[in-house]
Amino acid sequence: MPGGLLTDLYELNMAASYLRRSMTGQATFSLFVRRLPPGRGFLIAAGLADCLQFLEDFSFTPDDLGYLHHTPGYGEDTLRAFASLRFTGDVQAVPEGRVVFAGEPLLEVTAPIAEAQLAETVLLNHVTFQTAVAAKAARCVLAAGGAQLVDFSFRRTQGIDAGLAVARASAIAGFTATSNVAAARRYGLAAAGTMAHSFIEAFGDEEAAFIAFAEDFPGAITFLVDTYDTGHGVRNAIEATRRLRLPGPVGVRLDSGDLAALARVARAMLDEAGLADARIFASGGLDEYAIAALAAAGAPIDAYGVGTKMGVSADAPYLDSAYKLAAYDGRPVMKLSAGKASPPGAKQVYRGPDGDVLALREEPPPPGHQPLLVPVMRKGRRVGAQEPLAVAQQRCRADLAWLPPAARALRNPVPVPVRLSDRLTILQDQVTRDLRRRAGVPDSPEGR
Amino acid sequence: MPGGLLTDLYELNMAASYLRRSMTGQATFSLFVRRLPPGRGFLIAAGLADCLQFLEDFSFTPDDLGYLHHTPGYGEDTLRAFASLRFTGDVQAVPEGRVVFAGEPLLEVTAPIAEAQLAETVLLNHVTFQTAVAAKAARCVLAAGGAQLVDFSFRRTQGIDAGLAVARASAIAGFTATSNVAAARRYGLAAAGTMAHSFIEAFGDEEAAFIAFAEDFPGAITFLVDTYDTGHGVRNAIEATRRLRLPGPVGVRLDSGDLAALARVARAMLDEAGLADARIFASGGLDEYAIAALAAAGAPIDAYGVGTKMGVSADAPYLDSAYKLAAYDGRPVMKLSAGKASPPGAKQVYRGPDGDVLALREEPPPPGHQPLLVPVMRKGRRVGAQEPLAVAQQRCRADLAWLPPAARALRNPVPVPVRLSDRLTILQDQVTRDLRRRAGVPDSPEGR
pLDDT one-digit tens code per residue, A97-111: 999 999 999 999 999
Name every chain A residue with its beta carbon within 8 A of the beta carbon of B126: 159-160
Structure confidence at residue B1 as a pLDDT band (50, 70, 90): low
Higher per-residue confidence, A418 vs B447: A418
Q: How many CB pairs under 8 A join A and B?
A: 328
Kindly indicate the confidence band of residue B445, based on its pLDDT and cuts at 50, 70 and 90: very low
d(CA B342, CA B384): 31
Are A202 and B21 an interchain contact pair (Cβ–Cβ within 8 Å)?
A: no
Q: Please give the CATH architecture assigned to the domain spanning A194-282.
A: Alpha-Beta Barrel (3.20)
Which residues in chain B are contacts of A162 at CB distance < 8 A? 158-159, 161-162
> What is the predicted pLDDT for the residue at A445?
44
**Mutation site for B-interface testing, chosen from A7, A181, A203 by largest number of B Cβ within 10 Å:** A181
Q: Do domains B144-190+286-314 and B194-282 have the same CATH topology?
A: yes
**B387-390 long-range contacts, Cβ below 8 Å, gap at least 24?**
B387/B49, B387/B95, B387/B96, B389/B168, B389/B171, B389/B172, B389/B187, B389/B188, B389/B189
Spatial neighbors of A324 by CB under 8 A, at least 6 apart, are A29, A30, A32, A334, A335, A342, B197, B198
Whole-angstrom distance, CA of residue A233 vs CA of residue A250: 14
A446 pLDDT above the threshold of 80: no
Contact B14 A196 (CB under 8 A): yes
Q: Quote ipTM for the complex.
A: 0.96
Residue to test with chain B: of A108, A158, A254, most B Cβ within 10 A: A158
- A336: pLDDT confidence band, cut at 50, 70 and 90? confident
Query: Could you give the dihedral angle defined by the CA atoms of residues B90, B396, B340 and A303, in that order, rounded to the nearest 10 degrees?
Result: 90
What is the pLDDT confidence band of residue A442, given thresholds at 50, 70 and 90? low
pLDDT > 90? residue B340: no
Q: Does residue B375 carry a pLDDT above 70?
A: yes
Give per-residue pLDDT as tens, B281-305: 999 999 999 999 999 999 999 999 9
Contacts of A313 in chain B (CB under 8 A): 317
A331: chain B residues, CB-CB within 8 Å: 204
Contact between chains at B337 and A120 (C-beta distance less than 8 A): no
CATH code of domain B9-133+319-447: 3.20.140.10
Question: Which pLDDT belongs to residue B220?
Answer: 78
- Domains of chain B, by residue range, sit at 9-133+319-447, 144-190+286-314, 194-282
Confidence at B443, pLDDT banded by 50, 70, 90: low
pLDDT of residue B341: 74
Nearest to A10 among B12, B179, B324 (CB): B179
Rounded-to-integer distance, Cα A101 and Cα A98, Å: 10
**Tens-place pLDDT, residues B34-53:** 999 999 999 999 999 999 99
> How many angstroms separate the CA of residue B124 from the nearest CA in chain A?
5
Q: Given an 8 Å threshold on Cβ–Cβ distance, is A128 in contact with B438?
A: no
Tell me how close the Cα of A145 comes to any Cα of chain B, in angstroms: 26
**CATH code for B144-190+286-314?**
3.20.20.70
Mean pLDDT of the region A211-225: 90
Q: What is the pLDDT of residue A194?
A: 86
pLDDT of A228 > 50? The answer is yes
Question: Cβ(A357)–Cβ(A366) under 8 Å?
Answer: yes
pLDDT of residue B447: 36
Q: Residue B334 has what pLDDT?
A: 85
Predicted confidence band of residue B442 (pLDDT cuts 50, 70, 90): low
- Bridge-based pairing of strands A177-178 and A26-33 is unpaired
The pLDDT score that the predictor gives to residue B182 is 97
B162–A159 C-beta distance less than 8 A: yes
Going by C-alpha positions, the residue among A366, A353, A346 that lies closest to residue A422 is A366
State the average pLDDT for chain B: 94
Residues A413-434 have a mean pLDDT of 94
pLDDT at A342 over 50: yes
- Top pLDDT among B338 and A343 is at A343
Q: Which of A7, A8, A136 is best to mutate for the B interface (most B CBs within 10 A)? A: A8
Whether residues A121 and B155 touch (CB distance < 8 A) is answered with: yes
- Of 1.10.3720.10, 3.20.20.70, 3.20.140.10, 3.40.1380.10, which CATH number belongs to A9-133+318-447? 3.20.140.10
B71 versus A405: the higher-pLDDT residue is: A405
Task: Write down the mean pLDDT value for chain A.
Answer: 94
- Compute the average pLDDT of residues B135-144: 98
